[in-house]
Copies of this chain bind each other. A is one copy, B any other.
Amino acid sequence: MVMQKGFTIWFTGLSGAGKTTLSNLLHHRLQERGVTNVEVLDGDVVRTHLSKGLGFTKEDRDTNIRRIGWVAHLLTKHKVPNLVSAISPYREVRDEVRMMVEHSGGKGSFIEVFVDCPVCECEKRDVKGLYAKARKGELKQFTGIDDPYEEPHRPEVHIRTNEATPDEGVEMIINHLKTHGLI
């Protein structure tokens, strides 16, 4: 029996870019490979558990991301692979989470996946109808519309979801995990 290593896959990108789709598919693929103790942390769900009452100012967003990051670091520390989807628009706090996770899981245990899709394409999909609301001004501080998104400088995996299929994207992550001895 090979001891499973802990790691955090951190999906960052605009709303509608495909973070949850990739996360769910990766979860499925990992299960097929016998990695069964994976925890999926969806930003929206985690927000209701950890950050009810917080809004979307930079400060509140950062606090929310730090909390998710703290949970991710606990899971990684205890060798539970975890998949986090969160817009997490600010570079500095993502790097802070990276340090926290790598502190307990070791170098390489934090895998930042940039789920890259042009805002016009996300807006065209608009699965949840949020962009329409943001354009009408019904939603304020919407990332990509009237709130910034800071792209990762050196993400471990960079997936252009308007070019690659979900399967191709997940394959890129699986390859990274294999190359780095994480699965």
Contacts and interface: CB of A to CB of B under 8 A. Distances in A.
Interface residues of A, number: 18
A49 B75 contact: no
A167 B30 CA distance: 44
A144 B71 CA distance: 31
A125 interface: no
Nearest to A73: B49
A50 interface: yes
A74 B1 contact: no
A58 interface: no
Contact of A71 (B1, B63, B74, B80): B74
B75 A50 contact: no
User: 5 nearest interchain CB pairs?
Assistant: A78-B80, A49-B70, A50-B67, A37-B78, A50-B50
